[in-house]
Amino acid sequence: MYGKGLLTGLGITLREFFRKKATERYPEVRPKLTERFRGGKLALEPEKCIACGLCSLNCPNGSIRLVTVKDEAGKRKLSEYEYDAGACMYCNLCIENCPQKCIRWDKKFDFAGYDRKHLIIDCIAVANAKKAAEREGGAETHE
Ligand code: SF4
Ligand code: SF4
């Protein structure tokens, strides 16, 4: 029949027009990330960390640098904790090997920098800033 192809095409267009949309209006609408999503930066809970260094030891890319000191009681504690997102391959080994479960992904995947050094995160400073923002009631969350 003459025009059959045209009608078939229009039929497909109409069907797709009314079908539920698969695309999202990012960045206005943030995507719903799954529990197992790996992305963004490592978020540390410094108060839970026992400064064992297992996260750093298990990182195949050397993306985690931590410095420990001993307190008055001779107990090891964190003094610096840096995560290099530019060197991370999101293998999750650091998180899986943390005995305290005190590191996780912040899931804020859309970050960037003009220089590689902007991808190096001071996790203790970020955790302290987040706590201060929560105290003031203005914490930013994208999860
Ligand atoms: S996800 Fe893998 S590469 Fe990234 S910091 Fe953790 S262990 Fe290292
Ligand atoms: S593995 Fe966990 S507890 Fe140990 S130093 Fe890393 S973050 Fe801290």
Expressed in percent and rounded to 5, the helix, strand and coil fractions of the chain are 30, 15, 55
* Whole-number pLDDT of residue 138: 60
Ligand nearest to the CA of 44: 2
pLDDT interval class at 140 (50, 70, 90): low
In the chain, where are the structural domains located?
38-135
Q: Of all atoms in ligand 1, which is nearest to the CA of residue 61?
A: 3
Question: Quick one: what percent of the chain has pLDDT higher than 70?
Answer: 96
Tens digits of residue pLDDT in 79-101: 999 999 999 999 999 999 999 99
143: confidence class by pLDDT, cuts 50, 70, 90:
very low
Instruction: Note if the bond before 27 is cis, omega within 30 degrees.
Output: yes
End-to-end CA distance of the chain: 54
Q: Write down the mean pLDDT value for the chain.
A: 92
pLDDT (tens digit per residue) in 97-117: 999 999 999 999 999 889 999
Is the confidence at residue 44, as pLDDT, over 50? Answer: yes
- CB environment 91-120: b (16+ within 10 A), e (fewer): eebbbeebeeebbebbbeeeeeeeeeeebb
The verdict on pTM exceeding 0.85 is no
Helix (H, G, I), strand (E, B) or coil at 122: strand
Dist CA 50 CA 62 (whole Å): 19
Q: What is the CATH number of domain 38-135?
A: 3.30.70.3270
**Pocket perturbation via mutation, ligand 2, pick of 47, 102, 104 by most ligand atoms within 8 A of CB:** 102
What's the pLDDT score for residue 142? 44
Q: For 107, which DSSP code?
A: -
Pocket of ligand 1 (CB under 6 A): 58-61, 63-64, 88-94
